Amino acid sequence: MIANLAIVVVFGIDLMTLLYMITQHQPSRRAEPDEKRPPLKLPLIGDLHSSPIDKPLANWDDWARRNGPITVSRLFGIAPVVILNSYEAVTELSSRRSQWYSNRPRSATMEIINGAEPGQSRFTMMHDYDDHLTLHSQTASSSLGALAAPRYRPLTELGNKQLLCDLSDALHGCPDGATISTATIYLHLERTQSNELLQEIIGTQAQVTHLAANPSLPDLIPTLRQLPESTSLERAADELFATQLDLYTRLFHPGRDSDSWNPTEEALATAEKYTAVPGLDLAFALATSIQGGMETSSRQRRGSTTGKRIATDGAFLQVANLLWAFDIMPVEGEEMDPWAMTVVGFMTMSKELRMRLKPRGDWVMEAIKRGPKIAAEDLDQVIGSVNDVEG
């Protein structure tokens, strides 16, 4: 009787899981062309201030004024979450009093995927404040923090100069300029759009952030995490974990074995100063530090983003180079709306805008052609020979 009841319960849970996955399934953002992808809501807080889905932050200021600098809401309608609406509140609670106000919202789904205990998710945006997270913060800070930023600058400069080179090639034979999309020049060089490894990283990130930002059955019914591994929920979790493990290991090994300086070697050196950290944990730590996008320094914990300085330097240099080389203007008929955004993972980015680039003169094109060679020589001098991950 008990055995039959157990079978019925497991079957019922499997059926509930299947129905939930069907109703909650969202197509991969990489599986369809841009114009066919359905817009996504801003995760976690997107429904709080009733902003339009295409302008996910439009009503946040008004909502914050009504609710004050510190307010409490319920994540997924269940878990109470403190929301900070001002810089002063963030500084006070996330820095000065971080030891009392630091645990992050937990996700039972993410913990199941990684085989982690409650509050110990490898997706550190949902990890409790403890010694393990402190070590993670110290590791991430040394390899991605402000002190490491100068080591990235030669690589950033090379990438930006190569971007100008690619754009000048695209403009060749078009004296009036050419029309491109910001997706082409945003963060990635044009030729990397077909890079299989890059697409794999982006696809895995999309899966993980979607699960972290959208509740599943274990988040609504935490006791389900105790179910046997034979359920479809556990099988789906194991499959995603295997995908992450394969990708993060392939990313980790070349960095570990490389002769040149890189964040992986820096993280290994830092971890060895404190305790023995398994390579698997470091591989996940490095991957989630970049993918999470909200990791923090060892001093301020959740007060600042670890890679902020590196990202700011790169963005400033990219914009400065484009303004130096081109007259930039919207294509006729395009409207610029600063509130129009699209959701990517946990973040937002400006809506794509078609622009016209017109070189400022022949001297610009000549200078652009010389740029990558000079930058490449500087790169070798600063960080040594660079190994091709794909090679």
User: 145-169: per-residue pLDDT in tens?
Assistant: 777 778 878 777 877 887 888 888 8
In the chain, % of residues over pLDDT 70: 64
Output the pLDDT for position 103. 63
User: What is the distance, to the nearest Å, from the Cα of residue 321 to the centroid of all Cα atoms in its chain?
Assistant: 25
* pLDDT tier for residue 32 given thresholds of 50, 70 and 90: very low
Mean pLDDT in residue range 21-28: 43
**Per-residue exposure over 191-218, b if at least 16 CB sit within 10 Å of its own CB, e if not:** eeeeeeeeebbbbbbbebbbbbbbbbbb
Compare 248 and 377 and report the one with higher pLDDT.
248
The more confidently predicted of residues 99 and 92 is 92
In terms of C-beta density within 10 A (0-12 exposed, 13-18 middle, 19 or more buried), how is residue 352 classed? middle
Specify the pLDDT at position 175.
Answer: 52
Across the chain, mean pLDDT equals 70
Examine the pLDDT at 58 and tell me if it is beyond 50: yes
| Most distant CA atoms of the chain, gap in Å | 85
**pLDDT computed for residue 192 by the predictor:** 45
Higher pLDDT, 33 or 119: 119
Q: Has residue 281 got a pLDDT over 80?
A: no
Say if residues 296 and 302 touch (Cβ distance below 8 Å).
Answer: yes
Does residue 368 have a pLDDT over 80? yes
Supply the pTM of this predicted model.
Answer: 0.66
The pLDDT confidence band at residue 194, using thresholds 50, 70 and 90, is: low
pLDDT-derived band at 305 (thresholds 50, 70, 90) equals low
Per-residue pLDDT at 105 exceeds 70:
no
List of E strands, the chain: 70-75, 79-84, 178-181, 326-330, 341-344, 347-350, 354-359
pLDDT per position as a tens digit, 380-391? 554 444 443 333
**In this predicted structure, what is the pLDDT of residue 327?**
92
Question: Are the beta carbons of 324 and 155 closer than 8 angstroms?
Answer: no
DSSP string, 138-199: HHHHHHHSGGGHHHHHHHHHHHHHHHHHHHHHHHTT-TT-EEEEHHHHSSS-GGGGG-HHHH
DSSP-assigned beta bridge partners for residue 181: 354
Tell me the range of 9-18, 294-303, 316-325 where mean pLDDT is highest.
316-325
Return the half-sphere exposure (C-beta side, CA atoms, 13 A cut-off) of residue 243: 16
Long-range contacts of 1-6 (CB under 8 A, 24+ apart): none
Please give the pLDDT value at position 131: 75
Lowest mean pLDDT segment, chosen from 17-31, 124-138, 164-178, 257-271? 17-31
384/375 Cα distance (integer angstroms): 13
Highest mean pLDDT among 55-59, 112-116, 343-347: 55-59
At 374 the pLDDT is 56
361 φ/ψ sector (left φ>0, alpha ψ -120 to 50, else beta)? left
DSSP 81-120: EEEE-SHHHHHIIIIITTTTS-PPPP-HHHHHHHTPPTTB
For residue 64, pLDDT over 80 is answered with yes
Stronger pLDDT, 151 or 125, i.e. the higher one: 151
Mean pLDDT of the region 358-377:
76
Which of 40-49, 125-134, 334-343 has the largest mean confidence? Answer: 334-343
Over residues 320-361, the pLDDT tens digits come to: 989 999 998 888 888 888 888 888 766 778 888 888 888 888
